[in-house]
Structures are given as structure tokens and as C-alpha cells.
Copies of this chain bind each other. A is one copy, B any other.
């Protein structure tokens, strides 16, 4: 920080915050979320763009560079450029953080193995005339790190963050640092197999957690349970009896209204999540879980059965200090964490 205390900075001190700041970008298959984040004060400004998936890696790199350049120029009007720590990017797929390489991102057609960090850095320099340090990591890791530094994980030294949404993802924090594994693919909780001979599948693998409680699986389970229920369910009227439009939100609403079938659906979803978390505790001795993602909005409908099943799935001697808490940063965990990569 010595540089920021020299000449120019001190003169501007009354206008500029002295805290470090960075840009955090969350690259998704549908949207790119971006923010300028102050290390101390959190998000200063954030934006959202539709991902230009059609133009492949080069197109997305150009789009990211334009977003970063724009946000950087805006934010550096009120934040000391000398305190700028860089741009962090969370991306779907396996990320080799040391070399900045992204492999096989799902939902980004046309990508295979791509040196995203260096390409983005080059593009920023050549197309935007900006020399900016870039860090990249997996999006689930970025979200977990965001919760670790700014959110529900602040009080935990070790925890796993679970993201419940279309997919089921995970990010692991050990000793307040991201645990990435040797190839950067650690934390793939959605691929945890809980029912190896079961009927459900995901990416051709049977009985994975995502195949059991990903968004599609929850809806399919609900339709099955509604069909099997002799007394029916009040969910029907929430989706105008068009069950192709059934969503977890409807099930959440109906459950809060006391609909037995919806309550049973969430009970089962939470319970299966609990089995998955028990495997994490058995293997890694992690006993703190931060639960985020759109589906986690169901809250205690999921959390209560999950914690119960988690306890029932392990020896009593390992029940000590088990805890399940809701994520705190919502869909901003990724941008927070991506920015925090630059403060590391």
C-alpha cells in the first residue's frame, strides 16, 4: 500500500477512499454479472448483461473486456486507481487457476479448453488500452469465496457452500482459503452419487445429487407425487393446472399454505440433500454448510429435513458442531468472490 500513500494519492485523499477495490465478474451461460467492489465497503456499482454465447470464446472475451473497461473507467472516477487490485472472474467449468485456463464450461457452446485469463488480459490491452491484472476461478468457488469473505461463511474456518438451482454445485473453503484440488475441479457436489442403481441420471451418470434434487428433478418428483396423491394438491391452481409450468416457487408457496404434497416434496428434497452433506462430513470432516442458489429460497422447508437427515446419516460422535446456514449474498456471491480473488 506504500504506493498509494505517495504524492498524488494523498492530495486526493478527501475525494478517494483509501481502501482497495477490484472488479468482480460472474460469467454465466445466460448472463454476465459485473461489479466494482470495495474491499471494505462492498459493492460500489453492479451491472448485468446477456451473455453473447453465439460468438464463441472470442466474442465473449471481447464482451468481457468491454464490460471490464467500462466499469473500470466509471469506478476509477471515484476510487483511487492506485488502489485498484485487478479484475476477478468466476466462470463455469473446471478452471486451472495457476495457468488461467478454463476447460469445458457447460452452457457455453463451442468452448473446449481455453486460456481465458491471458486472452482476456490481451484483449483488454489491445482493444481497450488497459493493463489490468486478471484472476479467474470456477464460479462455484467464487461464490463460496464470496460467502467466506463477505457472507455467511465469515465465521467458519472450514465450510462447504452448496448452490441449489438448475444444477447443484459446491465450493469448499478450508482454513479460510478455497480448496480447489490438483486440477481445480474440487467441490463437484452435483456429481456425488447417492443412489448408484437408481433410475435418475445426470450427464449419463446414475443417482447423482443433481439428478435427484436439481430443479428438473424437483419438478419431476412433484408431478409424480401429485399424480400419486389421492387427495390432490393445491399446487395445480398455482400453475393453472398446466403442470409443464410447475416451478419450485409454486411448490414453495403451496407448502407455506400447508399443501401436504408440496410439504412432502420439500421434505424429500431436504432429506436427500442431508445425505449428500453427510458424505461430505464423512470424507472431509466439514461440519458447516452454507446453502445458496435459487432453490434455497425454500429455506427451512429444505433446511430442517436436511439437518435431521445429516445427523441421522452419521455416528452420534460426529454430530458435534454440525450447522447449516442460508447463504447471505444471494446471486451476488459470485461477483463478491471474484473481486475478493484480487485481494487475496
Taking a contact as CB atoms under 8 Å apart, the answer to whether A188 and B158 are in contact is no
Flag if A185 contacts B279 (CB, 8 Å).
no
Which chain B positions have C-beta within 8 A of A278?
Answer: 191, 193
Give, as a whole number of angstroms, the nearest-CB distance from A267 to chain B.
14
In A260-310, the 8 Å CB interface with B consists of 272, 275, 278-280, 282-287
Residue in B197, B285, B313 whose beta carbon sits within 8 Å of that of A193 in the complex: B313
A175 to B286, CA, bound (A): 19
Taken together as a complex, chains A and B put the C-alpha atoms of A198 and B195 apart, in Å, by 8
Contacts of A2 in B (CB 8 A): none
The answer for the CA separation of A27 and B278 in the assembled complex, in Å, is 28
B182 touching A158, Cβ below 8 Å: yes
Considering the chains assembled together, what is the distance between the CA atoms of A167 and B321 in angstroms?
26
Give, as a whole number of angstroms, the nearest-CB distance from A147 to chain B: 18
Q: Cβ of A230 < 8 Å from any Cβ of B?
A: no
Residue A186 interfacial (CB < 8 Å): yes
Interface 1/0 per residue, A303-324 and B, CB below 8 Å? 0000000001111011011000
Judge whether B282 and A314 touch: CB under 8 Å.
Answer: no
- Cβ A195 vs Cβ B195 within 8 A: yes
Contact across chains for B283 and A205 when beta carbons are under 8 A apart: no
Chain B residues with Cβ below 8 Å from A191 are: 278-279, 282, 313-315
The answer to whether A104 has its CB under 8 Å from any CB of chain B is yes
What residues of B have a CB within 8 angstroms of the CB of A186 in the complex?
283-285
Do B205 and A314 have beta carbons less than 8 Å apart? Answer: yes
Q: Which residues of B contact A172 (CB under 8 A)?
A: 283
A94→B316 CA distance, assembly (Å): 12
* Interface pair B317/A282, CB less than 8 Å apart: no
A194: chain B residues at CB < 8 Å are: 193-196
Cα-based distance from A318 to B180 in the complex (angstroms): 14
Establish whether residues B205 and A313, one from each chain, have CB atoms under 8 Å apart when the complex forms.
yes
> Could you name 14 residue pairs across A and B whose Cβ atoms are closer than 8 Å?
A181-B284, A183-B285, A183-B321, A186-B283, A187-B283, A189-B283, A191-B279, A193-B194, A193-B278, A193-B282, A194-B194, A194-B196, A197-B198, A203-B315
By a beta-carbon cutoff of 8 Å, the part of chain A in contact with chain B is: 94, 103-104, 157-158, 170, 172, 179-189, 191-198, 203, 205, 272, 275, 278-280, 282-287, 312-315, 317-318, 320-321
